[in-house]
Amino acid sequence: MLLSSYRLGNLTLPNRLVMAPMTRSRAVDGKPIAETATYYAQRATAGLIVTEGVQPNAVGQAGPFMPGLHTDEQVEAWRVVTDAVHVNGGRIFAQLMHGGRIGHPDVAGHHPVGPSAISSGTEVFTPTGMAPAPVPRALETAEVAEQVAAFADAARRAVEAGFDGVELHGANGYLIQQFLSSSANQRTDGYGGSTTGRIRFAVEAVEAVADAIGPERVGIRLSPGGQIQGIVEENVPVLYGELLKALPDIAYIHVMVTADDEVLMGLRKAWPTAFILNPGGQIGPDESTREQGERWLANGADLISYGRAYLANPDLVERFRLGLPLAATPGRDTWFQTPNGYIDHPSYQH
């Protein structure tokens, strides 16, 4: 099943493998570099590529050397990437990732913002290394709409840059999940408190993006119950059940295995369009296997996303097709910034 085709929005995917978004931290001045085009083009046999997180505005930059989609120069730089993927027969979505409270003034000269003035209690990347996460400035009610609009503006720029669509990053402790979280969001206005209040920002952001570029070009990534970067969520089945009911019928939801099978199956049954499942769960040392993907397809997922397996296996689809062994995931010291470990992983040598 992994190698069968699938219709996603207006796209026909030649297989059901999705290259999951992975931070690679190699941008310069918020722009992807030439090697970024090579990196994604090498992996264009994936049914769909979802890029690393791309900040929708300057205050949303979570860490150094991360790319953006809020200036004309960034659009031009991304067009080189999307052209390379399309020439190689691929399809590519940009992941729009607003760091929220995950950020630092030394990264982009802006103090992080969040739903409440509550630090994640973790460390964050800065240009000089890891540092304690600062306490964010709580967004005023009127300012929340500005962050919603930033997602929509970045989505328009993504389409201008040649992307086939966008995925909103609602997982892993970034801004959208901060609003969902009872530990990060202690607001008393309409964006906090009740389940309806805590899902409101996510829903408004998705609606704004869908209105801007069309719902068939939009997805959202979720990590229900995931405990990372200080996130705690209460009553996960109800929280995410209500979120899915309130979202418009966009192209897909992209769900990480951060809850038990019963919760995930409930979300699958509740969601009317494509359901992408990432079997890897939270960030860890091991890549997901073909067997895990096939099991989830048999349990109702439509597409399976692979992250770490794609680092050293640009030809992952072909390796699965021919039953070839996978190259081992490279060490973490090559994941970010380094010149090696990016575009130098070869296809399988027969």
The single residue of 6, 174, 191, 342 carrying the catalytic annotation is 174
Report phi then psi at 304, rounded to 5: -120, 130
How many Å separate Cα 336 from the centre of its chain? 17
CA distance 324 to 310: 14
Backbone torsion region of residue 101, taken as left when φ is above 0, otherwise alpha when ψ lies between -120 and 50, otherwise beta: alpha
Q: Which two tokens stand for residue 313?
A: 């296996």
CA distance 53 to 296: 25
Run of H or E including 129: strand 129-132
Three-state SS at 299: coil
Told to judge if 174 belongs to the known catalytic residues of this protein, a careful annotator would answer yes
Q: Report which of 95, 92, 97 is spatially closest to residue 41, judged by C-alpha positions.
A: 92
CB 326 within 8 Å of CB 319: yes
Q: Which residues are catalytically annotated? A: 174
